[in-house]
Structure 1
Amino acid sequence: MSLVRQMKNQKERLVEELTRAGATCKGNTVTCFCGDTHPSGGIYQNENGWRYKCHRCGFSGDVFDVQAKREGRRPSEVLREFSKRRDGRPEVRSGLGKDREDSGSGWGEKSPTAVADRPRRGNCRVFGSLDDLETSLPGEIVSKHRYADEKGRPFHCVYRLQLPDGSKTYRPAHYHNGSYILKAPPKLWKLYNLPIVVESEGLIMVEGEKAADALIECGFKATTTPGGSGKAAYTDLTPLAGKSVVLWPDNDQAGREHMDQVKDMLLEMDPPAELDIIEPADILLEEKQDAADFVERVRELETDMTTEIINALNESKPVGPADGLAQRIEAMIAGEYKAIDLPWGATSKLTKALLPGTVTLLCGSPGASKSFMLLQAVAFWLDCGVKACVYELEEDREFHLMRALAQRSGLASITDPDWVKNNPDTARNACLEHYKFLSKLARAMQAAPDKQPTYEHVVQWAREKAEAGNRIICIDPITAVAQDPRPWAKDSEFLEQIKTIATAYGCSFVLVTHPSKEILQSPNMNKLAGGAAYSRFSQTVLWLENHPAKDSMVRTSVGRIEEGHNRTLHIIKARNSRGQGLSVACEFNAESLTLDEAGLIVGEKD
């Protein structure tokens, strides 16, 4: 058998050559040297020996074809050269010169004498000259971006390559101890254009060396982090501490997320950087365009480059720890951040209970009509087009729908089975008249489960409803959840989770609860079932008190008048408005099972 045939039949020789070319081999699966980040290639054997094929770039061949690809030569040349050797090992092209000190070398200099292949260091390739390293790269070198340390000494280089199939890829390399190593340098990496970064007070941070170079060529000081989006944490950003930095992201999701990562890191420094950020859409960048595309567009329009870039920088907006407040103000102006109204106007104004991200507690002793109050509110929200839902932890769905029908029709007696039996036509007609609404309410209602639910179950339900876009999520009563041996810890954990969901999705929770025990004195937060966690994590606490009918002086839209009422709604806590400590006179209508406001209770001198 010829030496050529022997080489082709040796799998380990093919693997060795693929590895030299920059591929990663695991068994017969290969991550190609073409720049693919996934194992799209494979090694297989046929009648001609062991071969390799990449399904991404389309390259295929035997050990000699791979060597020719790596060295940028024709396969016929490699075969002729091989026939002159005895063992088939790669040929040493030239002698090794003396190692140079790091400070005396750069990516623009090339060693006159070097070795094509030096010993491998881990999973990287080591070269004695820049020529040999660049010859080994797949495809055509489109650009070469050099990184230096603070004193201008070479640190590493990033090659932008055009592959035969037209796609692009990148290869990092660094210089160490007289050798060129085809691998990114140890972390942390240096910022691009670092010597200028160190001496400058203000810079532009972009994504990618191409975008940075485009601005640098126009006379602006720019930098970037190596490695592309998502790798900011691998770069030493401390040279930017305390500096004025304009962030210019690419106009895509990855670009925005990358610049958010950079922003967070710069704001955590001591001293923090002073940051502004450009919104790409504000300067008319299209999807996936960046600073380099902006420069190219200005060139095509033949307008003044410096003026246009300055105008773009002037479109930037400050970013920092107060971002959340600025965004909230804009949301308020746009009407996106607002409190959802309650069915009771005075209570809505005095509490602003249903702002996004809030928790409201509705408390009252048994018989206070708080479940009727909640059901009335849910119906009101659905009528207003607000997406709301309720988890009824006591009784089945039909029980609560019957109550809703009574409220809707004004027929409290329809909740009495004997009355329905004696008035079948009236009951049927009421159901048919309000059937569409009842179906809408039924879809928004979760009935009581067969088993007593746990806090974990309720939290999971709440998260699913928030993810589904529900603006208001109600649970009645939260005290029906199975109790834990350590209720004080479980209550706190539950409220923290509910608050986190409310904040993350911008929704509001309404939780119905009970007093910790029967009381005679005035309601207060210390008497809520569930302990301190419920009052601590809620923004609004309402206490509905049931009492015999009485008269109180109330303030209404037409002035102060005396009104009779059989319920008082105490505003125990109102973090979002001015109503804390006030009380509203209400009348529970026994015919419609609904609650009506009479007005804010005031004293004789108020």
Structure 2
Amino acid sequence: IACVYRYDTPEGKEFRPWDVKTRKTKAPNPRPLYNQPGIKVADEVLLVEGEKAAQALIESGYCATTAMNGAKAPTDKTDWSPLKGKRVSLWPDNDDAGLEYAFSAAKAIDDVGALSVVILKPPADKPEKWDSADAVQEGFDIDHWMAATERKTIKSAGLQLSDWSALRYKGVAPEQHYLIEGSFPLGVVSILAAMGDTGKGMLTLKLALEIACGEDLTVEVFGGKVLQHGTAVVFTSEDNQAEVHRRLQKLDPTDLRLKSPEKLFIIPLPNAGGPFPMVRETPEGPRTTSEFTQVVRQLQAIEDLKLVVFDPLSSFVHADVNADPAVGSYLTGLLANLASETGATVIVVHHMRKPPGQKPIDSAEQARDAIRGSSALVDGVRMAYALWPAQDQIVQQTCQTLNLIPEPRSFYQGAVVKSNGPADRTIRTYKRNSIGLLEDLTARIKGQQPSTYDLLGVLAGGIRMAASRGHPFTHTGVNGVFKHRHRLPEAFHHMPRHKLENMVQELLNERPPRVVKGTLLGSKEQKWLDSPWGLFADGKGRIEEGADRLKND
């Protein structure tokens, strides 16, 4: 069909396409895919950038192809039709251009009727422009990587058992990343529950602003630091455009949001056609709506999506989510799929009911029980955070401690009331400020003393930093954390030996752990503290010069 001649010149690579049909040095129209005989007989195809990368995979036993000109190929001039009915995985080069091209090509492949389309994420520890040819040359474990790596699903072919063998779970498990330290995890569904007029809408807008615009700031929301930055999307069905604008003006008076407007999307549904249902009740049970499917496709196309908020949940479900467990299970499964495929935190804002007898809530357990809906709704999410009015006694103590005025409907408490992983379960005290935003007073009430959870996070960070510099600690002994505590943050300089070493043990016992014991290169003794993904954890660590006389005894 066509030939591509490659020349390595002093000025760089030069490619000259040859159109066999017209016998001219030019790209055919349309431009054919590479390795069409292989594509024809294959069920699964890898799309890579460039003939060299494709041929390396073909010679290793994979069916691979590439568009003519690789990442520079115009997708509208390429004939993608041979991929119809195929399961296609896109393996981009490890650079921004490769990822951008992958999304463009994935849409074109989806449009011609591919059975499934996924984009594989290159390993984070590989150099820029690393590709499949490099992988083959270095003996990289391609099968394991393709089975276990993060991916963005553009189109799913449904459940395939062959995709989920034990190979997916080989090696060190990936670390759980968090959107907010100690509470909202990335890539899962969470509930934010509160009674009416609590200020949860302002809190989610504040969170979205910090994720989209506050990359250079260290800001706390919901009692923890915002750890991720990227694109945030908020769907609100109760506030119109004017109200959203007024709230944003209060939260962001310097218009920081306008410096990167493509990072923040706030959709006031009263001005955008009204709320769209995610789930609708049918004679066959709850079903996904076409409106939600369309929204999901747009969310999947956002490369750095970190947050999606639906406020409130009841506006997006045309079924009885409060009483029917089947609806709750179906809905949480649907949202979990969205969170997993995008890697974003999905937060659904929900209402709480007052406890029986109109008694005030005085514990996290009561707050969890007060979240509206069947038990399937709360059980189906990975994390739930609740906000409730503070009891009069708490208000009086807070005002007395901080010399505040006990204004009505201004003081609230909040906590993680359900979590499937490590979480800071501190019950925090909030006060509504002059613009309606809940401010966390917990640290001020405690006299700025960090909690044990906070200290564990700081200790884990200090241990990881020391290992990354080639100056690792051991748990105890001459190289132990207590002996070398002066190299840790100041909070640990005067801590008793037993307490510091017990905190290290607590980190080692966590599941998943934030700290593990690893080995030096060439050694079998596991004693050097490191992160689960560090060099010492992988048996490749080295002690660097200036390591404060560390001894490998």
Q: TM-score range by the shorter chain?
A: 0.3 to 0.5
**TM-score relative to the length of structure 2:** 0.43
Q: Greater Rg, structure 1 or structure 2? A: 1
**TM-score relative to the length of structure 1:** 0.39
